Structure 1
Amino acid sequence: MSETHKGALEWLKAELDDESDEDFELELSESVLSLELRKVYKKQHADTLDRRTYFTELIKLQAELIKLQDWVEHHGEKVVVIFEGRDAAGKGSVIKRITQRLNPRVCRVAALAKPTEREMTQWYFQRYVPHLPAAGEIVLFDRSWYNRAGVERVMGFASPDEVQQFFEDVPEFERMLVRSGIRLVKYWFSLADEEQQLRFLMRIHDPLKQWKLSPMDLQSRVRWEDYTKAKEDMLARTNIPEAPWYIVEANDKKRARLNCISHLLEHIPYEDVPQTPVVLPDRVFNPDYERSVMPPELYVPKRY
């Protein structure tokens, strides 16, 4: 085995060991669930990927995401990725895995709160425009202007006329973005009724995840069929050639993450870019310099 290959394997093992924090997070989350919920969840996902296979593939994809990031920055590309789907479908978790190893100055997340009173008087798309990328940037929208076609429509926050106007405007708005040089990719995370119910129950019984549940999330269970109809109408009316929708089957979280990231990498024609070799310079030693001693009260207590 060559030294290069041996070094690569050692690096991969170190990375897999480093990912154990996510394993612990998962175990901690599961430990506070009721025994029955844990049995049901494991039965539902008996054929999911084992953790080592999952992490090995994830790290490979994340290494490619770094190449994508370098290509975007080097060529001044502009990328927008929209993540839509039902509550608890796993949009946030795939965004987390995409950004985990990337430079936040290049790849950032836009997750807008509900509009202010002032924003409600603006052109509907106006509050999203400032979050669009400049050259050399990637923006991941954790929900987007499609709120109007989903929650606003179903919950009655937008009138039928406003919804109709949205459907007339959004294709041209997205064509404008594409004409401006933005690469626009849209994902819908598809989740089964029973799987959403199970994930909601897990959040209810997990103190570390209860913050993820909002009144709107709970209403989405009551109005499941209304959301289904709204989703089908949205996909039919906004699936344009310049910015088509891609559906991610999200019942299996691990596979959904890997499939989505893999598709994103295949969808954008990135390539390796020239890299300037990094050389660590020698430290300059000044014989007359003495490092000052800081007062003890400035230090964080060593409790661990």
Structure 2
Amino acid sequence: MDLGVYEAELRRLQTELVAMQEWARATGARVVVVFEGRDAAGKGSAIKRITEYLSPRVARISALPAPTDREKTEWYFQRYVAHLPAAGEIVLFDRSWYNRAGVERVMGFCSDEQHSRFLVQAPVFEQMLVDDGIVVRKYWFSVSDVEQERRFRSRAKDPMRQWKLSPMDLESITRWEDYSQAKDEMMAATDTAWAPWYVVESEDKRSSRVNVINHLLTSIPHDAVQPDVPPIPDRPAPRGYVRPPQANQNYVPDHAAAVLAAHAATAGDPS
């Protein structure tokens, strides 16, 4: 997707996301958005663009770590319940209870019995959420094996993204078909009328971002709510208060000025 076209459409969609946020806050709506899919398929970058201009008090990201020893003994859905939205909140799950149908299934972190029980209970759990008035959207980000490997290799060379690579991520290369089978089993059992799955083709990240945001906005009916913008008061006349000298305070060094000076010196050097 052309960068200029992408940025213009993304800004339009992000403006509408702010409007949906205000609708949720004003009406007390509760929204859950589940992001699942292949490793390196673009879930995180899509979530980042969705929340970029939203209030963290309204829209928050839930990305749970591996369960503790105590949590492993709880009812499987128990720790996720604590992260569900209250009135006027939007929660985006960066991976969710579907870990049991994906990585736990493939890597052997759960038993066959636990996996089978999950496939039965997940639709019931989501039916309970919907029956209670929570809006549920579930997105599966799909990417080819060739593109996934390309993204992994790109991350390995980028110092700012190397932290995204883990041995567990790389297992998705050698266990590609295992993950495919696990995903197909999950879809067959949990793609329901009340909480359907929506597949996001993510070979082109820009396209996938605008596609998922547009679907989220168009699939959740919301009215335009004018935000309550308080009037900005006029600044009162000075009262004559004398502030202490600036030299008495510690200031962050002006690194920006040093960078600009170094850039100017380099630009002026013909060699």
TM-score (norm 2): 0.92
**1:176 matched residue in structure 2:** 128
The offset of 1:144, in angstroms, is: 0.1
Q: 1:291 aligns with which of 243, 251, 257?
A: 243
Look up the equivalent residue of 2:65 and give its one-letter code.
A
* Counterparts of 1:81 and 1:117, CA distance in 2: 27
The offset of 1:98, in angstroms, is: 0.2
Q: 1:134 aligns with which of 72, 86, 91?
A: 86
| Residue 234 (str. 1) matches residue 191 (str. 2) | no
- What are the Cα deviations for residues 96-116 of structure 1, in whole angstroms up to 9, with x where unaligned? 000001111100000011111
- What are the Cα deviations for residues 21-47 of structure 1, in whole angstroms up to 9, with x where unaligned? xxxxxxxxxxxxxxxxxxxxxxxxxxx
* Counterparts of 1:96 and 1:274, CA distance in 2: 24
| Residue 192 (str. 1) matches residue 144 (str. 2) | yes
The offset of 1:181, in angstroms, is: 1.1
* Counterparts of 2:226 and 2:153, CA distance in 1: 49
Look up the equivalent residue of 1:50 and give its one-letter code.
D
Look up the equivalent residue of 1:162 and give its one-letter code.
Q
The offset of 1:295, in angstroms, is: 4.7
* Counterparts of 2:76 and 2:228, CA distance in 1: 44
Number of aligned pairs? 256
* Residues 293 and 130 of structure 1, relative CA distance in 2, 3 Å threshold: farther
User: Sequence identity of aligned pairs in percent?
Assistant: 56
Look up the equivalent residue of 2:213 and give its one-letter code.
I
| Residue 256 (str. 1) matches residue 208 (str. 2) | yes
* Counterparts of 2:226 and 2:149, CA distance in 1: 48
**1:82 matched residue in structure 2:** 34
- What are the Cα deviations for residues 206-232 of structure 1, in whole angstroms up to 9, with x where unaligned? 222110001110111110000000001
Look up the equivalent residue of 1:101 and give its one-letter code.
Y
The offset of 1:294, in angstroms, is: 4.5
Secondary structure at 2:255 match in 1: coil
* Counterparts of 2:228 and 2:190, CA distance in 1: 43
Secondary structure at 2:85 match in 1: coil
Q: 2:234 aligns with which of 282, 295, 298?
A: 282
Query: Can you give the 5+ residue segments of structure 1 that lack an aligned partner in the other structure?
Result: 1-48
**1:270 matched residue in structure 2:** 222
- What are the Cα deviations for residues 175-194 of structure 1, in whole angstroms up to 9, with x where unaligned? 11111111000000011111
| Residue 52 (str. 1) matches residue 18 (str. 2) | no
CA root-mean-square deviation: 1.2
Look up the equivalent residue of 1:126 and give its one-letter code.
Q
Look up the equivalent residue of 1:112 and give its one-letter code.
L
**1:66 matched residue in structure 2:** 18
* Counterparts of 2:132 and 2:58, CA distance in 1: 19
Moved more, 276-285 or 98-107: 276-285
2:22, 2:227 within 8 Å by CA — same for their partners in 1?
no
Query: Can you give the 5+ residue segments of structure 2 that lack an aligned partner in the other structure?
Result: 257-271
* Residues 202 and 277 of structure 1, relative CA distance in 2, 3 Å threshold: closer
Q: 1:120 aligns with which of 60, 63, 72?
A: 72
Secondary structure at 2:214 match in 1: helix
Q: Which 4+ runs in 1 deviate beyond 6 A? A: none
| Residue 102 (str. 1) matches residue 49 (str. 2) | no
**1:203 matched residue in structure 2:** 155
**1:301 matched residue in structure 2:** 253
Look up the equivalent residue of 1:255 and give its one-letter code.
S
Secondary structure at 1:141 match in 2: strand
Secondary structure at 1:74 match in 2: helix
* Counterparts of 2:228 and 2:99, CA distance in 1: 43
| Residue 216 (str. 1) matches residue 171 (str. 2) | no
* Counterparts of 1:186 and 1:293, CA distance in 2: 57
Look up the equivalent residue of 2:52 and give its one-letter code.
Q
The offset of 1:86, in angstroms, is: 0.5
Moved more, 284-293 or 204-213: 284-293
The offset of 1:298, in angstroms, is: 2.1
TM-score (norm 1): 0.82
The offset of 1:199, in angstroms, is: 0.7
The offset of 1:276, in angstroms, is: 3.3
* Counterparts of 2:65 and 2:74, CA distance in 1: 15
